Amino acid sequence: MPDSGGGGPALRDRAAAVLHENDAGGWTRAAPRLYPHQWSWDSAFIAIGWAHLDAGRALTELEGLFAAQWPTGMVPHIVFRAGPDHPYFPGPEWWDVSAVVPSLPAATTGICQPPVHALAVRRIWQLTPADARPAIRARIQALYPRLVAWHRYLATERDPEASGLVTTYHPWEGTDNSPRWDRALARIQAPDPGPYTRLDESELGDPSQRPTNWDYDRYLTLVELLRKYRYDDGLIYQHYPFLIKDVFFSAVLVAANAALLDLADVAGASDSDRETLAGWLDRGRAGLAARFDARSGLCADYDVRAKEDIRLRTFATFAPLFARTADAGQRDVQLQLLDSADFCGHPGLHWRLLPSTSPAEPAFESRTYWRGPVWPVINWLLTEALTALGATDRAAQMRRESLAQIAGNGDFAEYYEPFTGEHLGSQHQSWTAAVTLDWLSAAS
- Smaller CB distance to ligand 9WN: residue 70 or 248? 248
Our finding on whether 411 is near ligand 9WN (CB under 6 A) is no
Which residues does 363 contact at the CB level (< 8 Å), separation at least 6? Answer: 179, 182, 312, 357, 371
Smallest distance from ligand 9WN to CB 112, Å: 11
- Smaller CB distance to ligand 9WN: residue 199 or 335? 199
Our finding on whether 318 is near ligand 9WN (CB under 6 A) is no
The stretch among 35-43, 143-151, 156-164, 180-188 that binds ligand 9WN (CB under 6 A) is: 35-43
CB 402 within 8 A of CB 383: yes
The values of phi and psi at residue 107, to 5°, are: -70, 145
The stretch among 37-45, 97-105, 160-168, 225-233 that binds ligand 9WN (CB under 6 A) is: 37-45
Distance CA 84, CA 46 (A): 23
Which residues does 429 contact at the CB level (< 8 Å), separation at least 6? Answer: 18, 30, 31, 35, 412, 413, 414
Q: Which helix (H) or strand (E) holds 335?
A: helix 328-338
Cα R_g (the chain), whole angstroms: 20
- Smaller CB distance to ligand 9WN: residue 231 or 280? 231
Q: Using the CB atoms, write b or e for 216-250: b if 16+ within 10 Å.
A: bbbbbbbbbbbbebebebeebbeebbbbbbbbbbb
- Restricted to residues 150-209, the positions that interact with ligand 9WN (CB under 6 A) are 172, 174-176, 200
- Smaller CB distance to ligand 9WN: residue 125 or 249? 249
Our finding on whether 376 is near ligand 9WN (CB under 6 A) is no
Can 275 be counted among the known catalytic residues? no
- Smaller CB distance to ligand 9WN: residue 113 or 379? 113
Distance CA 357, CA 57 (A): 35
The residue within the footprint of ligand 9WN, chosen from 15, 30, 127, 261 (CB under 6 A), is 30
In this structure, the number of other CB atoms found within 10 A of the CB of residue 177 comes to 24
E strands along 54-163, which residues?
78-80, 107-108
Smallest distance from ligand 9WN to CB 185, Å: 15
Smallest distance from ligand 9WN to CB 268, Å: 32
- Smaller CB distance to ligand 9WN: residue 76 or 164? 76
Can 93 be counted among the known catalytic residues? no
**Per-residue binder mask for ligand 9WN (CB under 6 A), 58-97, x = binder:** -------------------x--------------------
Q: What is the DSSP string of 385-441?
A: HHHHTT-HHHHHHHHHHHHHHHHTSTT--SEE-TTT--EES-SS-HHHHHHHHHHHH
Smallest distance from ligand 9WN to CB 121, Å: 19
Smallest distance from ligand 9WN to CB 122, Å: 21
**Per-residue binder mask for ligand 9WN (CB under 6 A), 271-310, x = binder:** ----------------------------------------
- Dihedral (Cα; 373, 376, 381, 386), 10-degree rounding: 90
Smallest distance from ligand 9WN to CB 409, Å: 19
Our finding on whether 127 is near ligand 9WN (CB under 6 A) is no
Residue nearest to ligand 9WN (CB): 30
Q: Which of 61, 414, 417, 438 is catalytic?
A: 414
Q: Which of 23, 63, 176, 361 is catalytic?
A: 176
Q: What is the DSSP string of 361-382?
A: STT--TTSGGGS-B-HHHHHHH
Distance CA 377, CA 60 (A): 21
- Smaller CB distance to ligand 9WN: residue 173 or 342? 173
- Smaller CB distance to ligand 9WN: residue 34 or 55? 34
- Smaller CB distance to ligand 9WN: residue 77 or 400? 77
CB 251 within 8 A of CB 322: yes
Distance of CA 58 to the CA centre of its chain: 17
The residue within the footprint of ligand 9WN, chosen from 35, 45, 181, 318 (CB under 6 A), is 35
| Cis status, amide bond into 129, omega within 30 of 0 | no
Smallest distance from ligand 9WN to CB 28, Å: 11
The residue within the footprint of ligand 9WN, chosen from 41, 80, 125, 351 (CB under 6 A), is 41
CB 430 within 8 A of CB 33: no
First to last CA, the chain: 7
From residue 308, how far is each of 154, 183, 243, 291, 302 by CA, in Å? 22, 10, 11, 12, 6
How many residues of this chain interact with ligand 9WN, rule: CB under 6 A? 12
Our finding on whether 42 is near ligand 9WN (CB under 6 A) is yes
By CB under 6 A, name the binding residues for ligand 9WN. Answer: 30, 35, 39, 41-42, 77, 113, 172, 174-176, 200
Residues with a known catalytic role: 176, 414
